[in-house]
Structure 1
Amino acid sequence: MNNQVSISTANIRGAFGAFFIPGMYTALWAGFVPYLKAKLNIGEDVLGSMILLLGVGSCLAMAIAGKLVESLGCKKTVTIGSFIGMLSLGIVTWCSTIFEATIALFFFGVGMGLSGASANLQAILIEKVSKKHLMGAFHGGWSLGGFAGAGVLLVLLKTLSLPVSESICAVLIVLFIAMLIISQYMLSFGKDPNAKVVKKSKSPLSFHPIAIIFGILSFVSFLVEGAVGDWSALYLFEDKGIVIEEAVMGVMFFNATMCIGRLLGNRLGKHLTSKQVVISGYLLGSVAMALVVLLPGYGSMYTYLLVGISLAMVVPNLFSAMGEQNVIPMTQAVATSTMLGYMGILMGPALIGFIAHATSLTIAFSVLTAMLVISAGIGKYAYMLMDKSKEAEV
C-alpha cells in the first residue's frame, strides 16, 4: 500500500477533460449524420449498418482497454484513443463512398471505445483514491462537451455559413491540441495504488447477475443517449419539419440539461438514494421521450430539455455502483458494465436505424419510451439484488 499517492485538483480537471473533449467531437459526429446521409444518398438501414460497424470497432477496443490502461496508464490510453477517434472522424467527413465512410467509422468507434473506457476507469480510480463522489461531474463533462460541440457546429454552419467538412476538421485540430495539453494532468497510473487487497480474476468480464443486470441498465441508458445523439437531428428534420441547420439544436438542448443535471446532481445524494435517482430518472425519461414523439415541430425539439434533465444522473449512479460494490472485482464489474453500456450508445442506434427503416423514426423513438419504462422495473430489482449481496457479506 502506497500512502503517499493522492489525487490533486489538477488530476480531477484532467479527468474532466478526458470526458469533455470526446463529448465535443461526438457531438460533431451527431451533427454530421444528416449531411452524411444526404451526401451518400443512403437510407436509414444502410446508415444503421454503418453505425453498427462503428459499434463493433468500439467493443473490440474496450476488450483491450483495461490491459492498456494497466500497462500504459490512463493518460496515454485516453490520448491514443482520442487521436484515433478524431483522425477517423475527420476522414469520415471527406469520404465519398459508402465503403470508405464505413471503414473510417469503424476506426472512429475504436477511438471512442478506447478513450471512453479508459476515461471511466480513470474516473473510478479518482473516486476510490480521493474518497469523493465525482462521477456525476465527470459525466457532466461529457454532456458539457456535447453541448459545446453542437453549439460550435451550429455557429459555424448556420451563422457563418462555412462548409461542413472544413468546419468539423478545423474544430478537431483544435480539440486534439487541447487534449495534448490537458492530458498532462491525467493519472499516469491505471490501478488503485492505495488498495490493500485487490480481487483478481483471469477473465476480463464478469457473468455475475449484478454485473449483467447493471450492464443491461447501462446498455439501455446509453442506447437512449446514443439514439438522441445519432438520430435526433435527422428525426427533427424529416419528421418534425425543422430546417436542417437548426435540427442539431435538439441535441444541443439535450446535452445542455444533461450537463447541468450531472454537474449539480451529486447534491441529490444528500436527499435521495442511488436507487431512487435511477428509478425516478427512468420513469421521468419515459414521459419526456413520449412527449418528444407526440408534440409537433419546435415543441418536440424543446422537449429534449426535459429528456436530458430526467436521465442526467442515471448513468453516473450505475457506474459508481460498480466501483463501490465488493462482490465482484472492480475491473471485471467496470469492464462488463462499460462494455454493455457502450454497446448501447454505439450499437443501439444501429438497431434504431433498422426499426426506422422498417417502420419510421417515430415508431423507433416510441420503442425507446417503452424501454425506459421497463428499465425502471429492472432497476428496482438490480438494487434489491445488490442489497441482498451486501447482507450476505455481513
Structure 2
Amino acid sequence: MKEQRKQIGMREVNATRAFFFIGGFGSASWAPLVPLLRTRLAIGDDVLGLLLLCIGIGSLATMPVAGALSARLGCRRVLAGAGVLYACTLLTIVCVDGLWTAVPVILAFGAVMGCIDVVINVAAVIVEQGIGRRIMSGMHAFWSLGGFVGAGLYGVWVGMCGLTPMVSTAIAAVIILVLTAVFGRYLIPYGGDAGPLLALPRGIVVFVGITAFIAFLSEGAVMDWSGVYLTAVRGMDLSLAGLGFSIFSAAMLAMRFLGDRTVQRVGQRPVAVGGALLTCGGILLVMFARADALLYAGFFAIGIGAANIVPVFFSLMGRQRVMPLGTAVSAVSTMGYLGILAGPAAIGFLSSLTSLQTAFGMLAALSLVQAAVGFYVFKKMV
C-alpha cells in the first residue's frame, strides 16, 4: 500500500474525475436518442419500454463481474477499453434502423455503462486511500456534471445550431474518445484485491448495499414521478412539471462539490445518516407544504440530503475486510442499480393501488430505514 500511495497523485485524481464525467456525459447523450429511435423504428410505447429495459439488463450483466475484472486487468485497461466502446456503441445506436439491430446494440451500451460505473468507483476508493483525503463526493459530482453538460450540449447542437442527431451524437462520441485518450494513461494500472468473479454481497456489505438501493430508488422515483406529482396531485401547470427535479438535481450537484469539505468538517456519519433524515424531511415537505415555495424547498432539501449518502458509503468499502474491494463495490453498485430500476415501477404500482401521495410517503419511510441501516453500518465499521 505504501508503494501504491507513492504512485498516486493529482494526475490519477484528475484522470478518475474525467472518467466519472465520461460516465455521466455518455448516459446523458443517450437520453435524447430515445424519441429518435421510437420514430425511426416505428414502435409503440410498450415496445419502447422493453427496448429501454435493455439498458438495465446490459448494466446488470456486467456490474457483478466488473470489480473482479478490474482486479485482474487493472482499472486503467478496463476503463480505457470501456471508454472506447462507450463512444462506439453510442454512435452505433444513432445508426440502427431495425428493432433486432437495436436490441444487441443497446444491450452492449448498457453493459459498458454498468462496467464504467463499477470500475470508476473501485478506482476512486483506491485513489482516495492513496492520497489520504476525502475526494469521493467530488468524484460523483463529476458524473452529475457530465450529465448536465451532455444534456445541455445536445440541446445546443440540435436546437440552436441545427445539427442532425447523427452529427450531434458523433461530436459526443469524439468528446468521449478524446477524454479517454488524454486521461486514460493516468488512471491507476491496478484494481482491488482479486476475489470471486461473481460479486454476491455478504456481511456488512449487504447493509451498505441496502442504503445504496434506497438511495437510487428514491432518486429514480423523484426523477420519473416528481413531474406527475406536481401536475396530478398539486394541480400545477404542465410547464412547471420539470421544475421540482431541476431543483433537486441542482442541489445535489452543488452539494456533491461541497461534500468532501463537509465530510471533513462534520464527519461521515452526520453526513450520511443526517442526509437520510433530511431527505425524509424534504419528502414530507413536498407532500404536505401548502405554499409552492415550501414545496420547492422540499425538493431542494431532498437533493442536499441525498447528495453524499452514496459517496460516503462507497468510501467505507475501502475499510471493510469481508469482501475484496472490487467485488464489494460491484455488489453495492448492483444493488443500487436495482433500486434505480425498481423505484419508478414501485411508485407506479403503489400509486395504482392507493394514491401517488401514499407512494411518496413510502419514500419518506424508506429514508428513515436508510438512516437506521446507515447508523448500524457506522456502529460496526467506524
TM-score, normalization: structure 1? 0.78
Which residue of structure 1 lines up, in the alignment, with residue 111 of structure 2?
Answer: 110
Aligned partner letter, 1:82? G
Distance 1:302 1:208, change over 3 A: same
Aligned with residue 279 of structure 2, among 276, 279, 285: 285
CA distance in 2, matches of 1:213, 1:41: 41
- Alignment coverage as a number of residue pairs: 375
CA distance in 2, matches of 1:26, 1:364: 27
Query: What does 1:211-222 correspond to in 2, within 5 Å?
Result: 211-222=205-216
Aligned with residue 336 of structure 1, among 331, 334, 338: 331
Give, in angstroms, the shift of residue 55 of structure 1.
1.8
- What SS does structure 1 have at the residue aligned with 2:318? helix
Question: What are the Cα deviations for residues 208-245 of structure 1, in whole angstroms up to 9, with x where unaligned?
Answer: 3311111111122123334455x3697589866545xx
Contact 2:191-2:326 at 8 Å conserved across structures: no
Aligned with residue 267 of structure 1, among 255, 261, 285: 261
Give, in angstroms, the shift of residue 144 of structure 1.
1.5
Distance 1:26 1:208, change over 3 A: same
CA distance in 1, matches of 2:30, 2:44: 17
CA distance in 1, matches of 2:55, 2:374: 28
CA distance in 1, matches of 2:229, 2:39: 15
Contact 1:150-1:251 at 8 Å conserved across structures: no
Which residue of structure 1 lines up, in the alignment, with residue 88 of structure 2?
Answer: 87
- Answer with 372-381 or 151-160: which moved more: 151-160
CA distance in 2, matches of 1:176, 1:323: 30
Aligned partner letter, 1:3? E
Distance 1:48 1:294, change over 3 A: farther
Give, in angstroms, the shift of residue 100 of structure 1.
4.6
- Answer with 99-108 or 113-122: which moved more: 99-108
Give structure 1 stretches of 5+ with no counterpart. Answer: 192-197, 388-394
Distance 1:164 1:280, change over 3 A: farther
Give, in angstroms, the shift of residue 341 of structure 1.
1.9
CA distance in 1, matches of 2:321, 2:238: 49
Question: What are the Cα deviations for residues 163-193 of structure 1, in whole angstroms up to 9, with x where unaligned?
Answer: 55543443233222222222122112224xx
Aligned with residue 320 of structure 2, among 295, 320, 325: 325
Contact 1:66-1:331 at 8 Å conserved across structures: yes
Matched, 1:378 2:379: no
Distance 1:149 1:356, change over 3 A: farther
CA distance in 2, matches of 1:339, 1:148: 26
Which residue of structure 1 lines up, in the alignment, with residue 175 of structure 2?
Answer: 174
Which residue of structure 2 lines up, in the alignment, with residue 21 of structure 1?
Answer: 22
Which residue of structure 2 lines up, in the alignment, with residue 205 of structure 1?
Answer: 199
Give, in angstroms, the shift of residue 99 of structure 1.
4.9
Aligned partner letter, 1:384? K
Question: What are the Cα deviations for residues 4-33 of structure 1, in whole angstroms up to 9, with x where unaligned?
Answer: 742121111000001011111222334555
Matched, 1:75 2:76: yes
- Answer with 176-185 or 363-372: which moved more: 363-372
* % identical equivalent positions: 28
Give, in angstroms, the shift of residue 120 of structure 1.
0.7
Give, in angstroms, the shift of residue 265 of structure 1.
1.0
Distance 1:279 1:67, change over 3 A: closer
- What SS does structure 1 have at the residue aligned with 2:266? coil
Contact 2:227-2:245 at 8 Å conserved across structures: no
Matched, 1:316 2:289: no
Which residue of structure 2 lines up, in the alignment, with residue 9 of structure 1?
Answer: 10
Distance 1:72 1:238, change over 3 A: farther
Question: What are the Cα deviations for residues 117-163 of structure 1, in whole angstroms up to 9, with x where unaligned?
Answer: 11111111112222222111111111121222232234345544655
Which residue of structure 1 lines up, in the alignment, with residue 270 of structure 2?
Answer: 276
Distance 1:93 1:234, change over 3 A: farther
Aligned partner letter, 1:284? L
Which residue of structure 1 lines up, in the alignment, with residue 135 of structure 2?
Answer: 134
Query: What does 1:109-258 correspond to in 2, within 5 Å?
Result: 109-160=110-161, 162-164=163-165, 166-191=167-192, 201-202=195-196, 204-228=198-222, 231=224, 235=228, 241-243=237-239, 253-258=247-252
Aligned partner letter, 2:75? C
Question: What are the Cα deviations for residues 330-383 of structure 1, in whole angstroms up to 9, with x where unaligned?
Answer: 3342232122123333x3356358639957877765644443233223322333
Distance 1:292 1:34, change over 3 A: farther
Aligned partner letter, 2:371? A
Give, in angstroms, the shift of residue 293 of structure 1.
6.3
